[in-house]
Structure 1
Amino acid sequence: MLTGAALTGAAPVGATPADATTAGPTPAGSAPAGSVKAETKRTTALAPGVEYQQLDLQGTKGPARAHVLSVDLTDPRVRLGLLYPGAVAARATVSELATAEGAIAGVNGDFFNITEAQHPGVEATGASVGPAIAGGRALKAAVPNGQRFGPALPPGTTTEDVIGVGRDRRARVERLTLDGSVTTPEAELPLGGLNQYALPVGSVGAFTDDWGSASRLRATCGTDTERAAPCSTDTYEVTVRHGRVVSTADAPGGGQILRGTTVLVGREAGAQELRKFHIGEPVRITHRLRNTTSPIPLQLAVGGYPVLHDGQPLPGLDTRTAAVRTAAGIADGGRRVLLLALDGSPEYRTGLTVAEIAQVMRGLGAEHALNLDGGGSTTLVARTPDGVTPLNHPSAGSERPVPNGIGVFTGP
């Protein structure tokens, strides 16, 4: 078991440290195996069903500090939701996102398209890697594995892996696959992407008003196995409004997409198919994100990659590279969610390896866990009398704008 110690964390809104903390060690699962030593500090109640704690950790590369939110989904006053800035291809800080949505706490989410140094003249979109669902509505699907940003995927995992919460209020790790089609009187094409910064080679992708105003050019760059590969020279774009083709173009464009409008972007074989479309032609576009594990629809989904399954670390996790990291875990059969962010202050900046993060999440009682975006993105915030503020120290000295996060909400 992890052992108790003194608390140096923040107090909840409207409470003092004296009436906000509980004495004694925090309940946890089996202690982390391997090299990570953890000292659990007292737990602070941020709100009914939501607790915050600090862990002082000793990893193989040096000391680290973790900030952890424990969210009890059996409490009807608590829920989790996606934090995002209103568009897939946009970014804001976790504090800004939590403030705008009225969350009492939250952490950053998925890895994202942060730079395009390999493609001169192409702007990074800021869009996330994996699928995203907000309020039960699919916002986007996953880019190909080779197009992701972040550490190498562990064996057997994909960019389609998410942590989510279903309509049954149970958290689970899922794999979300895009099912979709584009149908005209002459043909039916499979849909290869939904609001993604990278489309599979030879495919057709759909962009809706959820995408935002960023250029769609990046979607035709790279290949399924090489993110830095050149942009395709064989592209085509078709704009469909209220079920009919209204315009076409030889290259992907940009600007806000109107409600009721879908822009189809094709590359290679997909572009060749789109060139057969004609102005005024009727087009039916369908898309959904399909669960591959549970039939229960997700209300929330955020991408990441699994590091813990059924209480055991996945094989092949990195044991050498330590960094500041964010993780999300599932405990008590999906009834409790753990949100963890390491501290980025100079004395703790060496962080932990991915394998050590899996150990720590298991020590907190997680049965399943995902590694989320880390480094300068790692941020855990909570609402205080002075507003929403980070409880950890972002490693860059200030918060980095991110595409999404996991928000903790209370109330009816």
Structure 2
Amino acid sequence: MTHRQRRFGAHRVVAVLLTVLGLLAGAALVGAAPAGALQRGTALARGVGYWQYDLQGAQGTVHAHVLSVDLRAARAGLLYPGKVAARATVSAMADTQGAVAGVNGDFFNISEAQHPGVEATGAAVGPAIAEGRVLKSAVPDGQRFGPALPPGATTRDVFGVGVDGRARLDRLSLAGSVRTPTERLPLGGLNQYALPVDSIGAFTSDWGEASRVRATCGTDTDRAAGCSTDTSEVTVRRGRVVSVTDRPGGGAIAAGTTVLVGREAGARELRTFVVGERVAVTHRLVAAGSGVPYRFALGGYPVLRGGVPVAGLDDRTSAVRTAVGTADGGRRLLLFALDGAPAYRSGLTLAEVASALRAAGAVDAFSLDGGGSTTLVAREPGAAGVSVRNHPTDAPERAVAGGIGVFARP
């Protein structure tokens, strides 16, 4: 490296740190961060800054950890374990994928106490896109894990970054079909742990090895409802039916193979399929917003739009939270995670999270999984891997379905 290159790189790091400190100073003016926070800003990479500070919530003092990401100098992407129905810690996913920082992501299928003998899949609630590839679509609203959705929110709500490099809030719906020589059937799900009643869902090699039985349990309005007794499964390989059974199975799905799972009316349709019959399965996620294709996206729900907190946000229940905000026309991210140490575990309400992100400079903000899942990791320049910066309430670190990773550009 030449002297000029070293000087240029040093100036970049200094510029990032000054940007971070400037944001903190602005936040302090509106009461979001004390002046002492100015001494705790760190530049992690070009365009990536990290700081922490105390906030006063209705239930007491909390400690916030924030990553500022300039998407013109760094990029963001989906952290995930390699399969939809799998879990890993945020630090393990970040190191495996080469991220310099990250936070946990969407809520997920964490337990199945209401369905004895049925395993939790670990799959996320909402849609997921990684490196432009659609991994899954959203479960019905009534099948989500996590606190009640704010008024008007849905499991189809996403935060993502488009191929234009801008972050935005959007809503992604599944559009797909199952075609045979004689009919065309609507596709009701893609790699989901819960399918709508009377529907047909598709499972691909992205799903993983978890049993597909969970997809036929519960209803569109009641996650705890029993599992359907009217089910069917069809395996399609290279465009032809190779098997038809009455009960969903499990195990890895080979590349080039799609497993169709039906419940109720969907199961009755699948039972008419014949081995050797031609079947074509298509699926895509349709955006309700800008129409720009997504480089990555994950689920959660909005708490701030256009600088205004979403109407009806819970202002009573405090908890340890994770959220992401956008600023500068979607060119900057603020990844926000509260500390779960006992001294700070009182947490914030959703209304307080929206206010805290707005004070930090966010225009739009999106709530992610919290509680024991809340984790923020970062890698110091020169370090071999990331370290956990907050204190997760699940010590040392909960395995989750995915997260948002921050990646340095050359």
CA distance in 1, matches of 2:196, 2:281: 18
State the distance in 2 between where 1:73 and 1:18 align: 17
Q: Is 1:341 aligned to 2:337, yes or no?
A: yes
How far is the alpha carbon of 1:397 from its aligned partner? Answer: 2.0
Cα pair 2:144 2:155 within 8 Å, conserved: yes
Give the Cα separation in 1 of the matches to 2:365 and 2:326: 6
Change (3 A) 1:366 1:388: same
| TM-score under structure 1 length normalisation | 0.92
Post-superposition Cα deviations, 1:65-110, rounded to whole Å, max 9, x if no partner, equal: 11000100122xx111111111000000000000000100000000
Letter of the 1:142 counterpart: A
- The answer to whether residue 399 in structure 2 is matched with residue 401 in structure 1 is yes
* TM-score (normalizing by structure 2): 0.92
Give the drift of 1:411: 2.4
1:5-404 to structure 2, matched below 5 A, reads 22=18, 25-26=22-23, 38-39=33-34, 41-42=37-38, 43-75=41-73, 78-384=74-380, 385=383, 387-404=385-402
* Greater share of helix: 2
Number of aligned residues: 393
* Structure 2: 5+ residue stretches without partners: 1-9
Task: Give the conservation status (yes or no) of the 8 Å contact 1:235–1:251.
Answer: yes
Q: Which runs of 5+ in 1 are unaligned?
A: 1-13
Identify if the C-alpha distance between structure 1 residues 19 and 327 changes in structure 2 by more than 3 Å, giving closer, same or farther: closer
How far apart in 2 are the matches of 1:93 and 1:113? 15
Per-residue CA distance 1:13-46 (angstroms, 9 max, x = gap): x9xx99995596535767798xx85426122111
C-alpha RMSD of matched pairs (Å)? 2.0
- Identity %, equivalent residues: 66
* Paired letter, 1:389: S
Who is 1:5 aligned against?
none
User: Quick one: distance in 1 between partners of 2:394 and 2:104?
Assistant: 15
Which stretch has the larger CA shift, 251-260 or 388-397?
A: 388-397
> What's the offset of the Cα at 1:277?
0.3
Deviations 1:238-279 (A, max 9, x none): 000000000111010000000000000000000010011000
- Residue identity opposite 1:406 in structure 2: I
Q: Distance in 2 between matches of 1:134 and 1:227?
A: 27
The 1-side partners of 2:334 and 2:135 are apart by 24
**CA-CA distance at 1:150 after TM superposition:** 0.7
**Could you report, residue by residue, the CA deviation over 1:333-387 in whole angstroms, capped at 9, with x for unpaired residues?**
1010110110000100111111100100111111111100001100000113252
Runs of 4 or more above 3 Å deviation: 17-25, 27-33
Amino acid at match of 1:91: R
Give the secondary structure class of the aligned counterpart of 2:399: coil
Amino acid at match of 1:387: G
